[in-house]
Amino acid sequence: MKVLKNIFGKSLLLAAMPSAIMALASCDEDLLKLKDESTGSYVQNDDKPIAAALADYEEFSEWENVLQYSDTYRVLNARNSSTSAHTFTLFAPTNEALQKFYSQKGVSGIEDLGKDYATALVKTMVTDYDSLKLTELFTAEITSLSYKSEAGEYLTISVDSVDGFDMNTPSYQTGVVISRDYIKCTNGFIYTADGVIPPLVENIYDRVVNAGNSSIMVEAFKATGYDKKLSTLADTTYVLGAQKITNYYYTLLNVTDATFQACGINSLADLKDSLVSRSSNTSASVDDLLLQYVEYHLFDASYSLSELKQMLGTDVVRIWQTAAEGQILMISQSDPIISTVDNGDGTETSDTTYIYSINEDDIAGQSFNEESSDVIAMNGYVHELTGWMPVYEPKQSTVVWDLADYSEIRNLCQKNEITYQPAAAVSSESKLGVSSASCYTVELGPESSLNSSYASLCYVTCKSNLQDCINHDRLVFNMGYQGFVSMKTPTLVKGKYKVMISMAYLVEQAFIRTCNGSKGGKMRIWIDLPSTDYSPADTEWETYHKLDCSPYTTITSAKPGVYETVLYDEIEFTETASHTFKFIMMDPAASSNSKFSLQFDAITFIPVE
């Protein structure tokens, strides 16, 4: 990853390859004649940097004005910083493109949008990348490329267009086109753009307010203080003098006024009345119920619609933890609908789709309005529901607890430029120590560990030999003998469960599996133990589901892979809640053997009738 300091007033983090600060667009044939559709061609400007070169082309006069107004003109004329040379690629909108953009925004010019917006717009249309020749990046096999913007948004460039390259982003699905031809300057390239991709400058609260169709939800945010929370991107705190920056990400399941009205709710007062009438908790105040309702529509992490609809393994139901304490929702996948299209040439194309329901036993037809979902903001996503989704407790369902599936781990990975939950097995593992994350409580054993390959608690992505790990990642326990870690489960519906654990097994763990100088990875598990120093009589341990087990001894194959074994044949939870699992390393090899580690993927809770 490149880091460009003090170019646009702050550090710009750019993903590998042409990770742009965002955006792109198309060819103006009057300006640059397309001489070779496969390779592109260029106009040479050896004596001028990018911004100065724009003055030679009348089609870019308004964009030149944007650069001047935003104080970025000098940046695009720069050839060197204090330490190194910089080469830029500018995707310059034509005058026609900018006038169309102003009309859509309801303004007469860039000045009406303000300097901050103008600066963000320039960042959207610029990359800091050496000699970005798009025609050389595509092959017969590679027809689409995806890059990450400074704001964390992904942009996609494809070769669908006859005139140039199509480009869109999650927050701007209407693509623009960039020319194959370019202008070569002393400090980079200029491509012509036939449109403008608006910069991502809105937080989740802004998105809902600016959409103008969700006044009841907006009033609910204000009444509960979530107008401020959903507008906050990060907080800075100091711990023992050290600065700590916490970034906030959310997913909002929004309800529009029209959806509320279809259910007889026409105001915030009506919503409060409906919540009171449904509640079985007679001691809860109306303010408590409203807060619970708002938080029930939020996840404390950023999820796209495809991620929300992703089932785990062969399951067709997935339980999600909401921001409301102890409240969960269930997303279920119906049987597939297969549609076949006649291509007109004797062939047919089949497409498989699924219908997704949310809490389907509560309100029929409640799901996502997909056309109005996947609205990206600076701090997450906004999705729209087809029902008002009051709080309700689903029936028991299989719950897969990915031990590394916490929003704080996602944020730490992003901060350390590590891909979190990769979509496929990786060619080279990434490792990140996560023992400092507040979602875990970690204490090393008296003698610690000899294994220097992993941190005491380590997040690790998986190569193909462990490709069956959920989300292609795992958690490595390396705290030494009598070291422990405790962590919270997802919320579980009250009832009885069979509990399974899936383990990543590698060749260097053979001595653990065969108990050759090891006790098979012996560990002790307690659930909901009151505190770390609680020492009841032995007869009381069972109250907290005490379990001694050696999970690696159940692996019968020497082949590396992911294996599953039973922890509890049956365990009962008497209330719907999250539970604290405490794992203590009870194998002396955890401190005496440099190859010892326990590597766990997930724990699965299966309802028992």
Domains and CATH numbers, the chain: 2-193 (2.30.180.10), 204-384 (2.30.180.10), 399-607 (2.60.120.260)
Q: Which residues are CB-neighbours of 605 under 8 A, at least 6 positions away?
A: 398, 399, 401, 489, 492, 497, 498, 499
Q: Is the pLDDT of residue 442 over 50?
A: yes
- What's the pLDDT at 11? 32
- C-alpha 502/C-alpha 562 separation (Å) is 7
182-186, 265-269, 458-462, 520-524, range with the lowest pLDDT: 182-186
pLDDT > 70: what percent of the chain? 78
Q: What is the DSSP letter of 41?
A: -
pLDDT confidence of residue 295: 97
Q: How many CA atoms lie within 13 A of 322 on its CB side?
A: 25
* Mean pLDDT computed over every residue of the chain: 82
Distance CA 269, CA 198 (A): 36
Given a cut of 80, whether residue 83 has pLDDT beyond it is: no
User: Can you give the pLDDT at residue 15?
Assistant: 30
Average pLDDT over residues 73-84: 69
Selected residue with higher pLDDT from 135 and 465: 465
Out of 153-167, 222-236, 493-507, pick the least confident: 153-167
pLDDT higher than threshold 90 for residue 438: no
Place 153 in a pLDDT band, splitting at 50, 70 and 90.
low
**pLDDT per residue as tens digits for the range 306-331:** 888 887 666 677 888 899 988 888 88
Q: What is the DSSP letter of 110?
A: G
Determine the Cα–Cα distance for residues 246 and 171; give it in Å rounded to an integer.
24
Map residue 460 onto helix, strand or coil.
strand
User: Is pLDDT at 393 greater than 50 in this prediction?
Assistant: yes
Which of the four pLDDT bands, split at 50, 70 and 90, describes residue 411? Answer: confident
Residue 181 has pLDDT above 90, yes or no: no
Residue 600: what pLDDT?
Answer: 97
Least confident of 332-341, 364-373, 576-585, 587-596: 332-341
23 exposed, middle or buried (CB, 10 Å; 0-12, 13-18, 19+)? buried
Q: What is the pLDDT of residues 509-525, one digit of tens each?
A: 999 999 999 999 999 99
Residue range 535-541: mean pLDDT, rounded: 52
Q: Kindly give, in sequence order, each residue whose CB lies less than 8 Å from that of residue 314, ignoring residues fewer than 6 positions away.
A: none
Q: What is the mean pLDDT of residues 535-563?
A: 81
Contact 187, 88 (CB under 8 A): yes
pLDDT digits (tens, 9 = 90+) for 6-48: 344 433 333 323 323 223 233 333 323 333 333 455 565 557 8
What distance in Å separates the CA atoms of residue 404 and residue 410, rounded to the nearest whole number? 9
Confidence of residue 148 (pLDDT cuts 50, 70, 90): low
Least reliable range by pLDDT among 86-90, 157-161, 341-345, 507-511: 341-345
Question: Looking at residues 372-397, what average pLDDT do you find?
Answer: 88
Helix (H, G, I), strand (E, B), or coil: what is residue 100? helix
This prediction's pTM: 0.66
Q: What would the mean pLDDT of 202-225 be, rounded to a whole number? A: 95
The pLDDT-based confidence of 371 (bands split at 50, 70, 90) is confident
> Per residue in 45-72, pLDDT tens?
557 889 999 999 999 999 999 999 998 8
The percent of residues in the chain predicted with pLDDT above 90, rounded, is: 47
Compute and round to an integer the Cα radius of gyration of the chain: 28
The answer to whether 319 touches 491, Cβ cutoff 8 Å, is yes
The pLDDT value recorded for residue 415 is 80
Mean pLDDT of 276-292: 91
The residue among 497, 588, 577 whose CA lies nearest residue 545 is 497
Q: Give yes or no for residue 74 having a pLDDT over 90.
A: no
Token output for 523:
């560990």
**Which residue(s) pair with 319 in the sheet?**
330
Residue predicted with more confidence, 542 or 554: 554
pLDDT at 198: 85
Which band of pLDDT confidence, cut at 50, 70 and 90, is reported for residue 593?
very high
3-state helix, strand, coil in the chain (%, to 5): 25, 30, 45
On the CB side of 289, CA atoms within 13 Å amount to 21
Identify the three-state secondary structure at position 199. coil
